[in-house]
Amino acid sequence: MIRYLLGRIPSILLVIFLASIVAFILPRLAPGDPAVVMAGPDPTPEQVEAVREAAGFNRPLIEQYLSWVLGLFRGDLGVSFILNRPIGELILSRVESTLQLAGLAAVFMILLGFALGILGGSRLRRGSRLALDMFNTAMLATPPFLVALVLILVFGIWLRILPVSGEVGLSENFGLGLQYLLLPAAALALTQAAVVGRLLQTSMLTTRGEEFIDLAVAKGASPARVTFRHVLPASLDAAIVSIGLRIGELLSGAIIIEAIFARNGLGQLAVQAVNNRDYFLIQTLVIGAVVIAVLSQLISEVVMASLDPRIRLES
Partner 1 sequence: MTAPTHAPVLQVDALVTTFTTPDEVVRAVDDVSFVLYPGRILGIVGESGSGKSVTARSIMRMVHAPGRVESGCIMLGDRDLRNLDERAMRSVRGRDVAMIFQDPQAALNPVIKIGDQIIESLQIHGMGAKKAKARALELLSQVGIPNPEEAFERYQHQYSGGMRQRVVIAIALANNPSVLIADEPTTALDVTIQAQILELLRKLRTDLGIAILLITHDMGVVAEMCDDVLVMYKGKVVERGPTAKVLAAPEHEYTISLMNAVPRMDSPLRAPFEPSGPPALEVSDLRTDVNAGQRSVFRRKAPFYAVDGVSIAVHPGETVALVGESGCGKSTLSRTIVGIYGSAGGTIRVGGRDVTAMTPADRRHVTRGVQYVFQDPYSSLNPRRTAGQSIEEALRVAGTPASKIRERSIELMRTVGLPAEHLDRYPYAFSGGQRQRIGIARALAGKAKVLVLDEPVSALDVSIQAEILDLLMRLQAEHGLGYLFISHDLAVVREISHRVAVMYKGKIVEQGTTQEIFEAARDPYTQRLLASTPKLDVEDRP
**51/39 Cα distance (integer angstroms):** 6
Cβ distance to partner 1 smaller for residue 85 or 219: 219
Write the binding mask 198 to 237 for partner 1: x where contact by CB under 8 A, - elsewhere: ------------xxx-xxxxxxxxx--x---xx--xx---
**Binding span for partner 1 by CB under 8 A among 96-104, 157-165, 193-201, 306-314:** 306-314
Write the binding mask 9 to 28 for partner 1: x where contact by CB under 8 A, - elsewhere: -x------------------
> Which listed residue (1, 7, 128, 173) binds partner 1 by CB under 8 A?
7
Residue 32 backbone zone (phi > 0: left; psi -120 to 50: alpha; other: beta):
left
Least CB distance from residue 69 to partner 1, whole Å?
Answer: 24
**Binding span for partner 1 by CB under 8 A among 42-50, 73-81, 103-111, 304-312:** 304-312
Distances (CA, A) of 188 to 99, 104, 106, 148, 313: 13, 9, 9, 8, 32
Closest CA to 102 of 168, 165, 186: 186
Least CB distance from residue 213 to partner 1, whole Å?
Answer: 9
DSSP code string of 121-179? TS---HHHHHHHHHHHHHHHHS-HHHHHHHHIIIIIIIS--S--S----TTT-HHHHHH
DSSP for residue 236 = -
Write the binding mask 164 to 203 for partner 1: x where contact by CB under 8 A, - elsewhere: ----------------------------------------
Residue 13 CB contacts under 8 Å (≥ 6 apart), including other chains: none
> Could you say whether residue 40 binds partner 1 (CB under 8 A)?
no
Closest CA to 116 of 17, 10, 204, 15: 204
Q: Residue 252's Cα: distance from chain center in Å?
A: 6
What residue ranges bind partner 1 (CB under 8 A)? 7, 10, 210-212, 214-222, 225, 229-230, 233-234, 307-310, 315
